[in-house]
Amino acid sequence: MPELPEVETVKQALIPVLENRRVFSVFVGRKNLRWPLPENLAKRLTNKVFTHLTRRGKYVLMHLDSGEVLLLHLGMSGSVRIYQHKPELGQHDHFMLEMAPQIGSGSRSYMVLNDPRRFGWIDLFAESAILGHKLLVGMGPEPLGNKFSAALLEAAFKGRSAPVKNALLNQALIAGIGNIYANEALFLSGISPRRKAGTITGGRADRLATAIVTTLRAAIEDGGTSLRDHVQPGGEIGYFVQRLAVYGQAGKPCPKCSSLIKTIVQSGRSSFYCSRCQR
Ligand SMILES: [Zn+2]
């Protein structure tokens, strides 16, 4: 499931395709994904220009010169492909933007959204409605934002008896982190996934805040450098999960101490950790 680094990689890959370019045509293959798609989606996008792209948590926000924002939610299985020629669409390709060429370049560009399980979504709404949008309202701070700090993390977790692993997945407390990077950040900070969130204070909060930023930045860097322009020959945007220390590594040696990595289930999600290094 795409987490903050993968969504950031998608956003960065889409910038040259969408920013300052006009929508030539739109294909909408279904009336709904996870939820119904907006009314008149194709008509409202056609001939509009994307002014800039941003990201909030796990969502890409594509701002248009019409004053509206196109929100892309990749859900569990959503992926985006990019082409310089018109592609054949498959069964699970639900949405396509055909972008007019940039001035001075002859080629149109195509962005295709594929989502076999259809847990993803596309929405289109007024820019002024961003803060109240149902997916964005009440979302916690951006871990890669300027305001993020150990003090902010400590305040978000204060008084919480839930395990810190669950708190990291709670988008109302901190945005964008999913199961993979929650496990990795806890390992890097030497904190047990079972520890109560409310006990993450002082030095522990410092270590965890630093580990979150380090883990997410490393993953974005991998996504950004592993493939030129992020785009593979088949149009897929290349995000790879690399350099994982504990996630999915149950029974393998801990990279720090060589004890075997353990796994437990917390709120239905697998946690991977080293019981010697993480307390
Ligand atoms: Zn260890």
The catalytic residue among 58, 195, 204, 207 is 58
The catalytic residue among 2, 38, 141, 163 is 2
The answer to whether residue 58 is catalytic is yes
The answer to whether residue 3 is catalytic is yes
d(CA 93, CA 141): 32
pTM (two decimals) = 0.93
Tokens 């080293």 sit on residue: 274
Ligand 1 center from residue 250 Cα (angstroms): 12
Closest CA to 97 of 105, 107, 86: 86
- Reading the block at residue 30, the tokens are 């279904």
Ligand 1 center from residue 6 Cα (angstroms): 27
Ligand 1 center from residue 66 Cα (angstroms): 53
The answer to whether residue 233 is catalytic is no
- Structural domains in the chain, sorted by start: 4-129 (3.20.190.10), 150-273 (1.10.8.50)
- Report the DSSP pairing between strands 93-99 and 50-56: unpaired
The model's pLDDT over 11-24, given as tens digits with 9 standing for 90+, comes to: 998 999 999 999 99
Ligand 1 center from residue 143 Cα (angstroms): 25
Ligand 1 center from residue 170 Cα (angstroms): 26
Residue 233 — pLDDT band, cuts 50, 70, 90? low
- Reading the block at residue 161, the tokens are 């008896």
Residue 102 — pLDDT band, cuts 50, 70, 90? confident
Closest CA to 7 of 81, 60, 48, 51: 60
The answer to whether residue 88 is catalytic is no
Contact (CB, 8 A) for 114 and 93? yes
- Share of residues in the chain with pLDDT > 90 (%): 85
The model's pLDDT over 138-182, given as tens digits with 9 standing for 90+, comes to: 999 999 999 999 999 999 999 999 999 999 999 999 999 999 999
Ligand 1 center from residue 149 Cα (angstroms): 26
DSSP per-residue string spanning the chain: ---HHHHHHHHHHHHHHHBT-BEEEEEE--SBSSSBPPTTHHHHHTT-BEEEEEEETTEEEEEETTSEEEEEE-TTT-EEEEESSPPPP-TTEEEEEEEPPPTT----EEEEEE-SS---EEEEEEGGGTTT-TTTTT----TTSTT--HHHHHHHHTT--SBHHHHHH-TTTSSS--HHHHHHHHHHHT--TTSBGGG--HHHHHHHHHHHHHHHHHHHHHHHHSSGGGB-TTSBB-------SSTT-TTSBPTTT-PBPEEEEETTEEEEE-TTT--
